[in-house]
């Protein structure tokens, strides 16, 4: 995972499989970066190259959505990841290309 601020948006780029083990290792890093960003800064998760996300990672998505009061989006979600997000009711955060 890498993160950077682009045009007042904190962008997280994920390329690995986001299983429960990966989620446990990323949660503190992600929430700390979101906490450190300016309050007006939006957050975007870029799932280019990610083929799987676990329920453990969905929990991180929910935490960030609450932290940013909805100023959050997901981009580049492939079909498998999109289905998982839809089943979890998080599809309204997916940006349509």
Work out the angle at residue 33's Cα, subtended by the Cα atoms of residues 22 and 6, and round it to the nearest 5 degrees. 105
pLDDT score, position 25: 92
pLDDT score, position 16: 86
Lookup: tokens for 56: 């453990």
Return per-residue pLDDT of the chain as tens, 97 residues. Answer: 999 999 999 999 998 889 999 999 999 999 999 999 988 999 999 999 899 999 999 999 999 999 998 799 999 999 999 999 999 999 888 886 5
pLDDT score, position 74: 95
Distance CA 18, CA 21 (A): 8
Distance CA 36, CA 17 (A): 26
Check: CB of residue 24 under 8 Å from CB of residue 58. no
The partner residues of 74 in beta bridges, in order of sequence, read: 45, 94
How many other C-beta atoms lie within 10 A of the C-beta of residue 67? 15
pLDDT score, position 70: 76
Distance CA 64, CA 66 (A): 5
Domains contained in the chain, CATH given: 2-93 (3.30.750.24)
pLDDT score, position 91: 87
Distance CA 5, CA 87 (A): 29
Q: Is the pTM of this model over 0.75?
A: yes
């Amino acid at each position: 995972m890498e993160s950077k601020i682009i045009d007042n948006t904190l962008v997280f780029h994920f390329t690995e499989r986001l299983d429960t083990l990966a989620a446990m290792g990323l949660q503190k890093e992600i929430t700390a970066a979101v906490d450190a960003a300016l309050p007006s800064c939006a957050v975007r998760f870029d799932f280019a190259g990610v083929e799987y996300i676990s329920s453990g990672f969905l929990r991180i998505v929910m935490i960030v959505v609450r932290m940013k009061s909805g100023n959050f989006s997901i981009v580049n979600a492939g079909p498998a990841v999109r289905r998982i997000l839809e089943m979890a009711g998080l599809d309204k955060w997916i940006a349509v290309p």
